[in-house]
Amino acid sequence: MSGATTPDPRMTSARRPPSRGMALSWSDPWFRNIVWQVLIIGGIAAMIWFMVSNTMNNLEVRRIATGFGFLGRVAGIPIGEHMVDYDPAIHSYGRAMVIGVLNTLKVSVVGIVLSTILGTMIGIARLSKNWLLSRLAAIYVEVIRDIPVLLQLFFWYAILQAMPAPRQAANPVPGVFFSNRGIKLPLLEWQDAHSWTLAAIILGWIGTASWARMAKRRQEATGIRPAVWPAGLALMVAFPLLVWAALGAPFTLEMPVLRGFNFQGGLTLSPEYGALTIGLVIYTASYTAEIVRSGILAVPQGQWEAAGALGLHPVSVMRLIVLPQALRVIIPPMTSTYLSLAKNSSLAVAIGYQDVVSIAGTILNQTGQAVEGIALIMAVYLTISLSISLFMNWYNARIALVER
C-alpha cells in the first residue's frame, strides 16, 4: 500500500530487546540503556547505604540512642491547644506528636478552603467591568504577593495581641468574646446522638452523589435529567434531622464564662492560630486570584458571546459555563498553591503556635533524637503533600475532557 510506512529501525532498536541468539554488545542501544540504568540505581543505593551507615556509626561513637522507642515515654510538654485529650504528666511523646499533626491539619484544611473562596472572589473581581473594584483587587494581589508571608504573620499576630484584656473583651453577641487571649465561642457538648447524626449526613451525601450520577447517565441516554435537589434535601437534611430527633434531639451549648483574669469553658481560637490562619489565607489567596483570573481568560470569548446571545445573566454565565471550563486550567497550578500553604504552615513556630514542627522540635531538644525527630517531620509533610496531590490529580482527571 502506498500509505504504509516502514518503522525506522533506529527509533525502535532502543526499545526492542534483542532476540535469542543475538550477541549483546555496547553498540546495541537497548543494552547500553540497561547498563546505564543499573549503574545509576546502584550508585544511588551505594550513596544511601554510605549515608545511613556513616550516620549510625557516628551516633554509636557518641553514644546517642537511636530508634523510636522514645515516643512511648511520658512527654511532660505543656500544649495549650489540642483537639484530643492531653495531660503532659500522663500522655506520651507519641500523643504529643499526634496533637501536633492535628494542629497542622487544622490550619492547612481551613486555610485551603478559605483561601480558595477568597482567591476566587478576588480573581473574578479583577475581571469586573467596575473600574474601582478591579483596581482594588489588583492592588490587593500586587501588594500581598510582594510582602514575605512571615512578616504578614508577625503583623496579624501583633494585631491580635493588641486586642483588649479579657475583662474588657468585646462581646458583640451573647457567648462570643474577643480579647488578647483569643476568640471565645459557645461549644456544643458532643453526645452519641450527634455522632449518629454525622453518620447520617455522610450517608446522605453518598446517596446524593449516587443519585446525581444516575441522573447524569439518564440525561445522556434520554436527554431528560431528573432533579437532584429534592433527593439531596431529603437525604442530607431531612434524614439527619429525623435521626437527631429520634435520639432525643440533644442540643446543649457550653458557654464561655469570665472567671478571674480569663475565660473558662467554650471553644477557644487562640491568637496564634488566628494569626497563622489569617496570614496564610490572605497570602495564598493573592496567588489563587491570579490562577483563577488566568483560567477564566483562557476560556474563549465566544463562550461569553454565545451565552449572552441566549439571554443568560452574567452571573449564570460565569457559574454554569465559564468556571466549569476554566477549572481544567485552574486545577494543576492550584495543586502547587495548596502544597505551598500546607508547607508554609511550618512557620507557626515563629509566632508560638504548636504545630508538628514546634512540638517535634521540643521533643528533639528533650530527648536528643535529632535524626528521628527530623524524619517524623519530613514524613508528616510528605504524607500531607502526597494526599493533596492525589486528591487534586483525581479531581483533575474527573473533570478532564474525554474524547468519545
User: Which pLDDT value is given to residue 31?
Assistant: 81
Q: Grid coordinates standing for 32? A: 547500553
Q: Is the pLDDT of residue 366 over 70?
A: yes
Higher pLDDT, 67 or 154: 154
pLDDT class of 125 with cuts at 50, 70, 90: very high
Per-residue pLDDT tens digits for 297-316: 888 888 878 877 887 787 78
Between the alpha carbon of residue 210 and those of residues 46, 206, 235, 253, 260, the distances in Å are 51, 6, 11, 35, 54
The residues pairing with 259 across neighbouring beta strands, listed in sequence order, are 262
CA 391/CA 384 separation, integer angstroms:
11
Strands 182-185 and 257-259, sheet pairing: unpaired
Q: How far apart are the first and last CA of the chain?
A: 29
Between the alpha carbon of residue 175 and those of residues 178, 182, 254, 255, 265, the distances in Å are 10, 13, 9, 6, 10
For range 70-94, the mean pLDDT: 87
CA 299/CA 308 separation, integer angstroms:
15
Per-residue pLDDT tens digits for 198-223: 999 999 999 999 998 898 888 888 87
Q: Is the pLDDT of residue 72 over 90?
A: no
Q: Grid coordinates standing for 69? A: 522507642
How many Cα neighbours within 13 Å face the side chain of 321? 19
Q: Is the pLDDT of residue 1 over 50?
A: no
The contacts of residue 369 (CB under 8 Å, 6+ apart) are 65, 66, 68, 70, 363
For range 275-280, the mean pLDDT: 94
Per-residue pLDDT tens digits for 48-68: 898 878 877 776 776 666 677
CA 364/CA 352 separation, integer angstroms:
17
User: Which pLDDT value is given to residue 320?
Assistant: 79
For range 159-175, the mean pLDDT: 87
CA 108/CA 144 separation, integer angstroms:
19
pTM for the whole structure: 0.79
pLDDT class of 365 with cuts at 50, 70, 90: confident
CA 270/CA 276 separation, integer angstroms:
10
For range 354-362, the mean pLDDT: 91
Between the alpha carbon of residue 402 and those of residues 119, 300, 322, 324, the distances in Å are 28, 19, 18, 14
Q: Is the pLDDT of residue 7 over 60?
A: no
User: Which pLDDT value is given to residue 105?
Assistant: 94
The contacts of residue 264 (CB under 8 Å, 6+ apart) are 256, 257, 258
Q: What is the pLDDT of the chain when averaged over all its residues?
A: 86
Taking alpha carbons only, the member of 267, 277, 269 closest to residue 183 is: 269
For range 333-362, the mean pLDDT: 92
Per-residue pLDDT tens digits for 367-399: 877 788 888 999 999 999 999 999 999 988 887
Cell 500522663, located at residue: 90
CA angle 386, 109, 379 (to 5 degrees): 35
Per-residue pLDDT tens digits for 8-40: 555 444 455 555 545 567 777 888 888 889 999
